[in-house]
Structure 1
Amino acid sequence: MVGGADDENSRRRWPRRVYEVGEEPDPRFTFANERTFLAWIRTALALVAAGIALEALEVPAQTAARVPLVLVLALLGAASSSVAFVRWARAERALRQSKPLPAPALAPVLAFGLAVLAVTIGVVFLTSL
């Protein structure tokens, strides 16, 4: 970009560390990156909602089991939301520089964490019967 409206447009866009490098990628790739970001945000919202539901419905009935489960769900939701933006920015920057996309750092942690959480909830329910 040499002078003109494109330079002014890139200076107004945030975060600057993403938009100040490289060239505009194919819009289809940018939109795909945004859809991935929104999918992570939906995941974060679902995790937080699940934690709120466990607490609001007092399920499981034992507070000693419920509180840690709620906290883990809320923390996984917060982590998903935070990492979603960082992942979007890293991917957008890579697209602008025609570099390989970064590997998703949170996906394995989230998958393993949810598996452990699901087993824990199942065990707590079975022991409370």
Structure 2
Amino acid sequence: MASGEGRPPDDDGGAGGGSEPDYRFTLANERTFLAWIRTALALIAGAVAVLHLIPLDWRPGVRLTVGLALTALAAVITVYAPLRWLRVQRAMRHGLPLPVSALPVVTTVGVAVVCAAVLLGNYWP
């Protein structure tokens, strides 16, 4: 099967020209994108659970803070994941080094902040 078959010759899939990378790398990039989207969905599920499903004996402000923090983190991931996918796809097409992503650090810090808020909610009188 020829590279780019089924697409017009000038259609690069939105990745800005260059040569078609090995399909395995393209699919790996797509799997990474989907993993970030699953992470965002899990964070949204956590926010719904904290805000509406689980009866927690927390102060109202802590519950709202945790729910909003989870939602905000999910929104950041949802916006940044496709941008990261596109940057990686462009780099592969042009034979450039893969760009460094801030997304793992942002997610780690966000989850750490939420964990601190959960501990605060459970143990603060």
TM category, shorter:
0.7 to 0.9
Q: Percent identity?
A: 38
Structure 1 residue ranges (4+ consecutive) displaced by more than 4 angstroms after TM superposition? none
How much does 1:62 deviate? 2.1
1:53 is matched with 49
How much does 1:110 deviate? 1.3
- Pairs within 5 Å for 1:1-129: 8-11=8-11, 14-15=13-14, 18=15, 20-56=16-52, 57-127=54-124
Deviations 1:31-59 (A, max 9, x none): 00001001100110011110010011243
Distance in 1 (CA, whole Å) between partners of 2:10 and 2:34 is: 23
Higher relative contact order (CA 8 A, sep 6+): 2
Count of aligned positions: 120
> What are structure 2's unaligned runs of at least 5 residues?
none
Distance in 2 (CA, whole Å) between partners of 1:41 and 1:65 is: 26
Amino acid at match of 2:98: L
Contact kept? 1:30, 1:92, Cα under 8 Å? yes
Alignment root-mean-square deviation, CA: 1.9
Distance in 2 (CA, whole Å) between partners of 1:99 and 1:84 is: 19
| Larger proportion of helix | 1
Normalising to structure 2: TM-score of the pair? 0.86
> What are structure 1's unaligned runs of at least 5 residues?
none
